[in-house]
Amino acid sequence: MTSSRRRLAVLAAATAVALTGASAGSAYAEPPPDAPEQIDNGDFSEGVAPWFSYGTGPLAVTDGRLCTTVPGGLANPWDAGIGQDGVPLVAGAEYTLGFDVSATPGSAVKAVLQLGSAPYTTYASVDATATGTAQRFEQTFTVPADNPSAQLIFQVGGNAAEQTLCLDDVSLRGGDPPEPYVPDTGPRVRVNQVGYLPGGPKNATVVTEATEALPWQLRSASGDVVASGTSTPRGEDEASGQTVHSIDFSSYRTPGAGLTLVADGETSHPFDISGTLYDQLRSDALQFFYAQRSGIAIDGDLIGDEYARPAGHLGVAPNQGDTSVPCQPGVCDYSLDVRGGWYDAGDHGKYVVNGGIATYQLLNTFERTKTAATADSGAALGDNTLRVPERGNGVPDILDEARWELEFLLRMQVPTGKPLAGMAHHKIHDRQWTGLPLQPQDDPQPRELHPPSTAATLNLAAVAAQCARLFAPYDAAFAGRCATAAKTAYAAAKANPQRYASPTDSTGGGAYDDTTVTDEFYWAAVELYLTTGSRAYLTDLSASPHHTGDVFDPRGFGWQGVAALGRLDLATVPNGLPAAELARIRASVTAAADDYLAELAGQAYGLPMPGDAGSYFWGGNSNVINNAVVLATAFDLTADPRYRDGAVQAMDYILGRNALNISYVTGWGEHAAENQHSRIFAHQLDPALPKPPAGSLAGGPNAALQDPFAQQLLAGCEPMFCYVDDINSYATNEVAINWNSALTWIASFLADQGDSGAVPAPTCAVTYTNHGSWPGGFTSQVSIRNTGTAAVSGWTARFAFTGDQKVTKAWSATVTQSGATVSAKNLSWNATIAPGATVTFGFNGTTASGANPVPGLVTLNGGACAS
C-alpha cells in the first residue's frame, strides 16, 4: 500500500507530444468571472494536500507558498515535478491557467496540463522563467478533449544548480461546474449479494423514510413467496446518514438460488442460500496472491489467459530488476538479490511490514486447520487444491503461496558482516513514482533498498518463526533457514530497538512508517516461543505490556498494530502456558468478540465496527474482516454459535449489505467493484488489460479522502458513502495483499462452516499425555472415552503436531503420519468403544525443535473430542 500515494505521470515520452492551444499568439475568449475553479488548494491555505512531488525535496508551505528544493544536475525538465491529479476538463471549453512562481538562483519552469497516464497527451502548457522574485504567469486556451481526471504538472528539473522553488495562487478557471456525483445504489433493499448459509443469520437493510414496520416477502427465483414478515425500524444510521429498517429472515433455511427480498416496493439483488457459498471464494481470494507475484511468469492456464504475463523485475529490459538491488545513497555499500515476493498493492513496491501481516494470515489460515473442529484437518487447503504452479509437490498449496513471499522476506535480511547484520530492510521499490497503467515487466525505474527498520526486522522474525514450525514436516531445510533467520532477526531487533522508517520516505513507494514497535516485539516473541518452547522468549512476551493489555481495538488490527496477532496465536496454537494463563488469554479473545457482537447489534448494516467517520479509513474493509476473524476465532475456541453468526454477518456488509449496495469483492455479487486501483489490472484505462481477478478486495469507504479524485467527487460524503469504484481513487479503491489476506482467512473459515447448522455436542473426551522426553525424542499416550450413548464400532483418531514431531513407533493402534497430521486406527481387538468405555494407544516420536505441546484438537471419526 503506497501510503503517500502521489502519482507522478511525467515520462520522457510526454515531451514528444505536440502542445495544443498554448502558443503565445493564440487568442481565446476569457472564461467568465464566475467560471469554476478546477484546482484544489491552489493557495496552499490548507497545507500541502492534495499536491505531490517527485524528484524534489519534501514539499512544505512557507509564508503561505508551496516550496521545495530541486536538486541540480537533473538531465531533463521532467525529471522533477510538482503536481495535482484529478483535474476535470471539458472538450471545447476555455480555461485560464495561472500561477505565481519564484526560484533561487533561477529556473525554467513548464506547467503541463496532460493525460495522467500513457501516452501522456499534453492538452496545454505554459512556459515560465522563475527568478528570485515571485512573478505571475497566465495563459488562456481551449481544451481539445474531455478528461474527468487530468493532471497538472510543473516540470522543474533540468537545471545545473540546486533551486529553491516556490509556487502560489495556482488556478485553473473555466469549463463546467462539476456535476454532483450521485452513486447508483440500486434497489433500496440491501442484502448479501452472494447469499446466506442455510443455518446461519440472514439479515438485510431497507432504506426508507417509513417510520412504521414494513411488510417483506422472500421470493424464490420463480417469484413464489416462500417467507414473509415485518421489518424493524432503526431510525437514522450514523455511518450512512440514511433512515433504515432491518429485516431478519434467519428462520428460512431452505437452500435455493436466485432468491430476492421485497420490501417497500423494492426488490433486492438476487442471492443464494447454500452451504457451499464460500468454497470458491476461498480459492479466489488466494488466487489474488499468485496474480500479484513478482519475479515469475504468470501462467494463464492457471488463472485465465487475460492474466498471463512475463515475469517482472528480473532485469530483462526495460526492467532494471530485483536481482541485484542497491541501497538508497548513503544507506549501505552492497546490493541484494530480492527477487520474488508479492507486489504489495496497486504499485510495484514490496514492503516487509505489509508482507509480514499478509504472510502471517496465509500461514495462520493453514495453522487454524490443526485446531479448529470445523476445518476438516485442512483438506480444502492441501496439495492440489489451489491454482498455484507448485501444486502436486506434496506441500499444502497455501504454504506454497506463502513461501513465495517468505523467500523474498528472507532475502531482505542484512547479510552477515555488514552493519546492522540480521536486521531487515524496510522496503524495496522504484526510485520514482510511475503512472497507470504499467505492467511489471515494463517498469523502467531503478529499484532501491531502503534502510533497515526495527518494525520490518520483527515482522521477519515473527513470520520466519511461523515458517519454521509449519514447514518442518514438509521441507526441513527450508524450515531450518526460517528458524535461523527468525532468531537472528529477533536478536538484531533487540540490539537496535528504535530504528524507525522515515515518514517522509514516500517517493516511489509508501512510507509505511511506524514508531511504536512494542507490539511487533510482542508478536515476534510469541511466534518464537510457540516454535521453540524457549523460556527466553516466554520471558520476553510475558514482560510485554501487550501480554496483559487490551490488544483488540474496536477498529480492528492491521500492519501498524500487530499485538492482536500474538494474542490470537497464543490462544489457538498449542503451547506450554499454564492452564490458568491460557484460560485468561482465551477469555480476552471472547471478551473482544463480545464487544464486537454488541457493536454489530447496534449497527443498522450489521458490521462489527463503530459508525463514526474515524472508523472509515484507508483499507478499512480489511479491518472489518479482521474483527470478523476475532469473532471466528472465538467460535473455534468455544463452539458458541453466536460468534460464528457474528463473523458471517460481518461479511454481509462486505458482500453488498451496505449503503452503496455494492460488493467490495471483484466477481462476487451482482453489483461488485471492478475498477480497483492497480497498475497491472488497469482495464478501465486500457481495455486490453484485465480487470482485477475475481476475489480481489477493495479498500473500501475512506472518510479522509486522501486522493484528489475522491476529494473532488465525494467532498462532504457520509462515511459509508466515501467510496468510488474508479481506478483513479487509490484512497478508497486500491487492492493490497494485507486486505486479501484477511479475506482469505475469513473465506476459508466460512467455507469450513458448511450449512452453519447447530454445533453438535462432543460424544468423546480425550486425554493426551506426554509421558517423558529425552534429547530428540518423547513418549506420548492418548486415551479416548466414549461419552455418547451409542457404541463406537471401528475408530480413527486424528490430531496434528505443531512442528517437526514425527511418530517412530506406536502400540495399540495403527499410526500413520502425513505432514503434521497423525491418524491412529483401531486394531482388531479394540475396535469397539462402548458408551462410557475408554481406548488408549501410545507412541514414541522424535523432535529437534524443542517444542512438543499437547495438540489442540483430537477428533474421533471426524468429530471433535472434548479435552
Cell 511466534: give the residue: 527
C-alpha grid cell, residue 458: 520483527
Determine how many CB atoms are found less than 10 A away from the CB of residue 13: 11
Instruction: List the Cα angle 383/384/388 in 5-degree steps.
Output: 100
**How far is the C-alpha of 864 from the C-alpha of 499, rounded, in Å?**
46
Q: Is residue 123 within 8 Å of residue 147, measured between CB atoms? A: yes
- 771 has catalytic annotation: no
Q: Is residue 796 within 8 Å of residue 823, measured between CB atoms? A: yes
**How far is the C-alpha of 482 from the C-alpha of 464, rounded, in Å?**
5
- 725 has catalytic annotation: yes
Determine how many CB atoms are found less than 10 A away from the CB of residue 679: 24
Q: Which amino acid is at 22?
A: A
Question: Nearest to residue 783, comparing CAs of 793, 771, 772?
Answer: 771
**How far is the C-alpha of 393 from the C-alpha of 142, rounded, in Å?**
62
**How far is the C-alpha of 722 from the C-alpha of 615, rounded, in Å?**
12
- Phi first, then psi: what are they for 413, rounded to 5°? -80, 135
Looking at 763-847, list the stretches that DSSP marks H as alpha helix, in order from N- to C-terminal side. Answer: none
Question: Nearest to residue 91, comparing CAs of 40, 3, 21?
Answer: 21
Residues facing residue 177 across a β-bridge: none
**How far is the C-alpha of 143 from the C-alpha of 123, rounded, in Å?**
6
Identify whether 119 is preceded by a cis peptide bond (ω within 30 of 0).
yes
**How far is the C-alpha of 388 from the C-alpha of 397, rounded, in Å?**
7
Judged by DSSP in three states, 860 sits in strand
Active-site entry in 40, 734, 752, 804: 734
Active-site entry in 677, 707, 752, 804: 677
Question: Nearest to residue 316, comparing CAs of 408, 430, 442?
Answer: 442
**How far is the C-alpha of 558 from the C-alpha of 626, rounded, in Å?**
8
Per-position b or e across 655-669, b if 16+ CB within 10 A of its CB: bbbbbbbbbbbbbbb
Q: Which amino acid is at 228?
A: S
- 299 has catalytic annotation: no
**How far is the C-alpha of 215 from the C-alpha of 232, rounded, in Å?**
10
Active-site entry in 725, 726, 752, 804: 725
Question: Nearest to residue 83, comparing CAs of 135, 146, 22, 41?
Answer: 41
**How far is the C-alpha of 449 from the C-alpha of 46, rounded, in Å?**
33
- 734 has catalytic annotation: yes
Looking at 716-796, list the stretches that DSSP marks H as alpha helix, in order from N- to C-terminal side. Answer: 730-733, 737-752
**How far is the C-alpha of 534 from the C-alpha of 465, rounded, in Å?**
12
HSE-up (13 A, CA, CB side) for residue 267: 10
Q: Is residue 264 within 8 Å of residue 206, measured between CB atoms? A: yes
Instruction: List the Cα angle 166/167/172 in 5-degree steps.
Output: 170
Identify whether 148 is preceded by a cis peptide bond (ω within 30 of 0).
no
Name the burial class of residue 154, with classes exposed (0-12), middle (13-18) and buried (19+) by CB atoms within 10 angstroms of its CB.
buried
Active-site entry in 347, 400, 443, 540: 347
Dihedral angle, C-alpha 683, 687, 688, 693, nearest 10 °: 30
Tell me which residues are annotated as active site: 347, 677, 725, 734
